[in-house]
Structures are given as C-alpha cells and as structure tokens.
Amino acid sequence: MGELAVTAVGADRPGIIARVTGVLLEHGGNLEDSSMTILGGQFAIALLVRADSGAAELERALAAATQDLGLLVAVREVDPQGRSAEPTHMVSVYGADRPGIVHAVAETLAEHEVNVTDLTTRVLGDERPVYAMVLEVALPGDVTDAALDAALREAVAGVEVTVRPLDDTAL
C-alpha cells in the first residue's frame, strides 16, 4: 500500500468529489491529506492517498470514471521520506490589487528559506479591489518573526503584512 498524489481539475459541478472518492474507495484508497477548491469556475483537487492500486492503475480508473465530467486527472507515486516541515507561522498580506504581489512574497520567503505549506489568495471588492493572501509557512530556526516581517514589508511596499506564530489548535 503506497502513497500517491492525486490531482484533478475541471469545470465545477455537483458530484465531482463523490465520483473521485468512490473510485479511491474501490481501489482501497484512504485520504490522508486533501485540498479541494473552486478557482474561477474550475474545481481543483489535490489529494494524498494511501491505496492498494499503483499510480498508473488508479489514474486509468479515475480518468475512465470521470471522463463525462471532463476532469484532467494525474496520479503519481510519493516518496514517503519526502515530508515537508510542519508549519510554524501564518503570514497575511493585504493591499491594493496589482501584478507581482505573489511573486515578491514568494521570492522573499525563498530567500529566507521559508517553506510555504499552504497559500490562498482572493481579490476582494469591485470598485477598489484589495488583494488578500494568507500563507501557512515553516520558518527555519534562524529566521525570526520580526526579520521576516521586515523583509516582506520591504519587498512588497504599500501592503499590510502580518507574521504570527501558528496557533497549536489550528487545523
């Protein structure tokens, strides 16, 4: 029973999750981690699954079972030793919407060897849109909250940045 990464994307419609998880169940699959969301009318799925079937067999089964839904499906084996660091902090960025915010934040985090474990963005409002980005990150031991906060504020001038330790009770 190996770990597999399963991704699927297609036009949003009811029943996608039921169809995908039904195939996983038929193949002895157990969801270990998942993220599913609607992005501009597209439903995107990213799953970590432990299953009895191999990657190729599961990908064929998922593709066949979701063909009428128009999903693009991919399955690959995951190295069990390749686990990422546990998240330690939340970073939030709010400001006037403009190109380059995500890149500037991501580049600054990479320069400080901060690993992004989750990232969500939204544009809020119509007349004066505000770009909102929330990240869950793993800070290396030699990077402080204050140092990262200062670096992000310098990299993305004109936006509000908050870096705070992750609450132990957060999901």
Domains of the chain: 2-77 (3.30.70.260), 89-165 (3.30.70.260)
The mean per-residue pLDDT over the stretch 27-36 comes to 94
pLDDT in tens, 116-160: 999 999 999 888 889 999 999 999 989 999 999 999 999 998 899
Amino acid at 129: P
Q: How confident is the model at residue 168 (pLDDT cuts 50, 70, 90)?
A: low
**Res 167: pLDDT:** 78
Res 36 pLDDT > 70? yes
pLDDT in tens, 55-95: 999 999 999 999 999 999 999 999 877 677 889 999 999 99
**Res 59: pLDDT:** 97
Q: How confident is the model at residue 38 (pLDDT cuts 50, 70, 90)?
A: very high
Give the residue from 94, 87, 168 showing the smallest Cα distance to 130: 94
